């Protein structure tokens, strides 16, 4: 097989056994790789009703056919599992270089099942794999774990691991690779911790065979040139993902004080421009990426002293505006603490903002917080809560459960401002200021997520995706059911990026035809633009079917009451709320070929996508 190593590593933690098996070429043609191939394994092997923290749940690491190749920004891998945060299908995606190291070790992916009786870590060395004792690593942060493993093995290994948060089963724990790159969402780190798998270290020298090497090299170089000449590179390299903070804020959609408003008055103190002129000391890129959007920052001295990566847009959004912190120094420390503890920055910052509003409304008291006073704009309790959450100490034990479960336990109206969809905390874009984003949040397979469709690009900052023919939004303040097709098309297209093993930002600079040609030259099959779209649609429907099998219905495709009932009080979107979600959902289901009453994929749609085997299970 071209583009693939042709093998999957099986790890049975209950019995301490590792084995390998060939991947099926037919599955690769249907699902391509990455999250697509991983979703096929998950659907086939994890039964209905499986406990996300039980031995039946699988934790699947998977690369794509482009991972590790010359293709622009082709260093990504995904983690697919059943989420302990939402109870449904889960996928987290990460950059850096770990996916490339895994693939060069001779494997396209790893399927982890069972539960180890003691902490272990996995070593994959050029085609050979073994489990090693990790009791000495348990209780260590990400940075120290990475260092200790490299001291034991060799510096040329790359490590993906959990921190203390994963060990302590924080529901939104992340898996961190390259010390600062995060497979962050849906609690994949909690699943890894529940299996007592501390880390996976990989290295190798095995080459990826390309079907038409000359053609692939030529088109990859051409596409590199296109990206290098794009405004995407200029802006992202200069200001990182935080380039959009000002743009979202000026539109009145930068969630502030737990989404009570969409305007952060001190945006100039925490923006990407300010970061570039103050704390930034370097820029960092992932494997094979022509854009260095990663930030390397230093806070020199004082109680927030730190050096590491970030903060990115979402850190500034959740710890900055949502918690109302007007100083980049504590925001940067918060980002680095989350990396070392292995916490999803979005869910962590959002949960702390929610807890702060609960405190200010008297739903949480000093007795609940152990004397800690939670006030919007006060950075010290925010930093303290990160420590407490990761260690599940005091009030941190409750906050480690995520906003959905906290609200259910506290009651007293807290659910109305618990900002999540399906249990996954929302990112920093307010749909009341860009209505189409509400539909994207509501329908995202993994819950409250912006990168599933990333409609925020064309909606908030007027950057269409070249990989979708018509991804422009005519008027972001108007709920137009016809534009539900934009969400559907973006979901399908960007799903393919998770299958290929490439960065979704590249979808802004390169077209569907560009990517289809690269895939065809890589794998040696006929693969055109229509095949590209069909793969995305197939994978999206199978992921939906997995969740439907576990009880997902149309009722789960909704938004927090605050977004539906409370108009924004100020700014460019003042007076706006999401009013026509049901109507746009009807249109979306029609475009999808799903039943409007239940939200299930129809039998006709599943047959059309060669997913007949899923019919009897949903």
Q: In the block, which residue shows the tokens 């039946």?
A: 56
Q: What is the pLDDT of residue 527?
A: 97
> Is residue 182 domain-shared with residue 320, that is, in the same domain?
no
Does residue 215 lie in a domain region? no
pLDDT tens string 129-181: 999 999 999 999 999 999 999 999 999 999 999 999 999 999 999 999 999 99
Q: In the listed set 424, 458, 486, which residue is the last one of a domain according to the structure?
A: 424
E runs forming strands in 15-106 = 17-22, 59-63, 77-82, 89-94
Examine the domain organization and report whether 438 and 406 are in the same domain.
Answer: no
Regarding whether 304 and 249 lie in a shared domain, the answer is yes
Taking only the tens place, the pLDDT of each residue in 71-108 is 999 999 999 999 999 999 999 999 999 999 999 999 99
| 401 in the same domain as 255 | yes
Instruction: Give the 3-state secondary structure of 185-230.
Output: HHHHHHHHHHCCEEEEEEECCCCCCCCCHHHHHHHHHHHHHHHHCC
Query: CA 216, CA 426: separation in Å to the nearest integer?
Result: 38
Please check whether residue 294 is in contact with residue 285, taking contact to mean a CB–CB distance below 8 angstroms: yes
499 part of a folded domain:
yes
My answer on whether 452 and 511 are in the same domain is yes
Report residue 331 as tokens: 């925001």
Same domain? 253 vs 346 = yes
The CATH number for 501's domain is 1.10.599.10
d(CA 340, CA 151): 18
Average pLDDT in the chain: 96
**445 lies in a domain?**
yes
User: Looking at the domain assignment, is residue 565 inside a domain?
Assistant: no
Both 393 and 266 in a single domain? yes
Same domain for 151 and 194? yes
> Both 377 and 473 in a single domain?
no
User: What is the length of the chain?
Assistant: 618
Is there a single domain that holds both residue 444 and residue 384? no
Report the sign of the C-alpha dihedral through residues 492, 493, 498, 504, in that order: negative
Contact 468, 486 (CB under 8 A): yes
- Contact, 57 vs 191, CB < 8 A? yes
Q: Residue 117 carries which DSSP code?
A: S
Give pLDDT, residue 532.
97
- pLDDT at position 313: 96
Residue 231 domain-assigned?
A: no
CATH code for position 412: 1.10.569.10
- Helices and strands, number each (H, E), in the chain: 27, 17
d(CA 414, CA 8): 45
Q: Which of 424, 452, 480 is at the close of a domain? A: 424
Nearest Cα neighbor of 268 from 257, 281, 283, 278 is: 278
**pLDDT exceeding 90 applies to what percent of the chain?**
93
Q: Which of 385, 345, 335, 423 has the alpha carbon at shortest distance from 82? A: 423
CATH number for the domain harbouring residue 41 = 3.60.9.10
Domain that holds residue 108: 7-203
- Separation of alpha carbons 268 and 525, rounded Å: 50
Task: Name the domain boundary from 390, 424, 458.
Answer: 424
pLDDT at 508 over 90: no
Helix H or strand E encompassing 270: helix 267-270
Structure tokens at 245: 């903070």
In a domain, 233, yes or no: no
What confidence score (pLDDT) does residue 232 get? 84
Residues 515 and 12: beta-carbon distance below 8 Å: no
Q: Write the pLDDT tens digit of every residue in 5-33.
A: 999 999 999 999 999 999 999 999 999 99
Distance CA(228)–CA(237), nearest Å, equals 10
Q: Fill in the DSSP letter of residue 373.
A: P
Domain count, the chain: 3
- pLDDT above 90: residue 502: yes
pLDDT in the model for residue 388: 98
Least confident among 176-190, 454-468, 478-492, 546-560: 454-468
Q: What is the pLDDT of residues 119-132, one digit of tens each?
A: 999 999 999 999 99
My answer on whether 363 and 263 are in the same domain is yes
Q: Are residues 397 and 441 in the same domain?
A: no
pLDDT band at 111 (very low <50, low <70, confident <90, very high): very high
Give the three-state DSSP class for 241.
Answer: helix
pLDDT of residue 24: 94
**How far is CA 105 from each of CA 6, 102, 128, 151, 469, rounded to the nearest angstrom?**
12, 5, 8, 19, 38
Q: What is the pLDDT of residues 380-412, one digit of tens each?
A: 999 999 999 999 999 999 999 999 999 999 999
* Token couple for 512: 């569907």
Per-residue confidence (pLDDT) for residue 461, from 0 to 100: 79
Please check whether residue 339 is in contact with residue 180, taking contact to mean a CB–CB distance below 8 angstroms: yes
Asked if residue 221 belongs to a domain, the reply is: no
Asked, for residue 566, whether it belongs to a domain, the answer is: no
């Amino acid at each position: 097989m071209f583009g693939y190593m042709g093998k999957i590593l099986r790890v049975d933690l209950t019995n301490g056994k590792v084995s390998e098996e060939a991947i099926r070429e037919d599955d690769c043609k249907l699902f391509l790789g990455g999250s697509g191939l991983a979703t096929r394994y998950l659907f086939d092997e994890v039964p209905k009703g499986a406990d996300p923290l039980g031995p039946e749940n699988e934790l699947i690491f998977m690369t794509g056919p482009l991972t590790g190749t010359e293709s622009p920004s082709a260093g990504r891998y995904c983690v697919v599992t059943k989420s302990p945060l939402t109870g449904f299908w889960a996928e987290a995606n990460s950059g850096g270089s770990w996916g490339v190291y895994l693939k060069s070790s001779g494997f396209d992916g790893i399927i982890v099942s069972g539960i180890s009786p003691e902490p272990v870590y996995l070593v994959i060395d050029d085609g050979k794999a073994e489990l090693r004792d990790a009791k000495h690593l348990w209780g260590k942060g990400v940075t120290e774990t990475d260092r200790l493993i490299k001291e034991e093995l060799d510096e040329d290994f790359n490590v993906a691991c959990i921190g203390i948060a994963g060990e302590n089963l924080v529901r939104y724990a992340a898996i961190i690779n390259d010390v600062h790159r995060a497979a962050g969402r849906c609690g994949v780190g909690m699943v890894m911790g529940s299996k007592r798998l501390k880390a996976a270290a990989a290295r190798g020298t095995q080459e990826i065979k390309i079907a038409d090497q000359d053609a692939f090299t030529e088109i990859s170089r051409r596409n590199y040139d296109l990206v290098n000449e794009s405004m995407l590179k200029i802006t992202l390299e200069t200001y990182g993902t935080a380039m959009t903070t000002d743009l979202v804020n000026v539109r009145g959609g930068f969630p502030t004080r737990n989404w009570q408003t969409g305007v952060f008055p001190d945006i100039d103190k925490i923006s990407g421009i300010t970061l570039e002129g103050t704390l930034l000391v370097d820029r960092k890129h992932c494997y094979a990426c022509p854009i260095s959007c990663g930030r390397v920052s230093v806070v020199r001295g004082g109680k927030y002293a730190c050096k590491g990566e970030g903060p990115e847009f979402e850190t500034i959004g959740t710890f900055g505006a949502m918690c109302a912190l007007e100083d980049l120094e504590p925001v940067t420390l918060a980002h680095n603490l989350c990396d070392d503890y292995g916490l999803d920055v979005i869910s962590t910052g959002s949960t702390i903002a929610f807890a702060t509003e609960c405190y200010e409304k008297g739903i949480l008291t000093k007795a609940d917080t152990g004397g800690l006073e939670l006030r919007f704009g006060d950075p010290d309790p925010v930093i303290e809560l990160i420590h407490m959450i990761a260690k599940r100490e005091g009030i941190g034990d409750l906050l480690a459960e995520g906003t959905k479960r906290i609200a259910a336990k506290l009651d007293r109206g807290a659910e109305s401002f618990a900002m999540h969809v399906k249990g996954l905390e929302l990112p920093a874009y307010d749909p009341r200021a860009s209505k189409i984003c509400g539909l994207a949040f509501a329908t995202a397979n993994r819950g409250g997520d912006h990168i599933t469709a990333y409609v925020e690009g064309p909606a908030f900052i007027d950057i269409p995706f070249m990989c979708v023919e018509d991804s422009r939004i005519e008027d972001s303040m108007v709920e137009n059911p016809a534009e539900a097709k934009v969400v559907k098309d973006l979901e399908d297209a960007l799903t393919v990026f998770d299958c290929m093993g490439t960065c979704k930002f590249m979808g802004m600079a390169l077209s569907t035809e560009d990517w289809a040609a690269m895939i065809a030259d890589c794998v040696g099959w006929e693969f055109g633009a229509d095949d590209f779209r069909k793969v995305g649609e197939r994978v999206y429907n199978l992921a939906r079917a997995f969740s439907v099998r576990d009880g997902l219905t149309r009722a789960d495709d909704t938004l927090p009451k605050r977004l539906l009932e409370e108009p924004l009080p100020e700014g460019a979107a003042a007076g706006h709320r999401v009013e026509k979600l049901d109507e746009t959902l009807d249109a979306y289901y029609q475009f999808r070929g799903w039943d409007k009453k239940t939200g299930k994929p129809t039998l006709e749609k599943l047959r059309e996508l060669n997913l007949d085997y899923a019919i009897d299970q949903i």
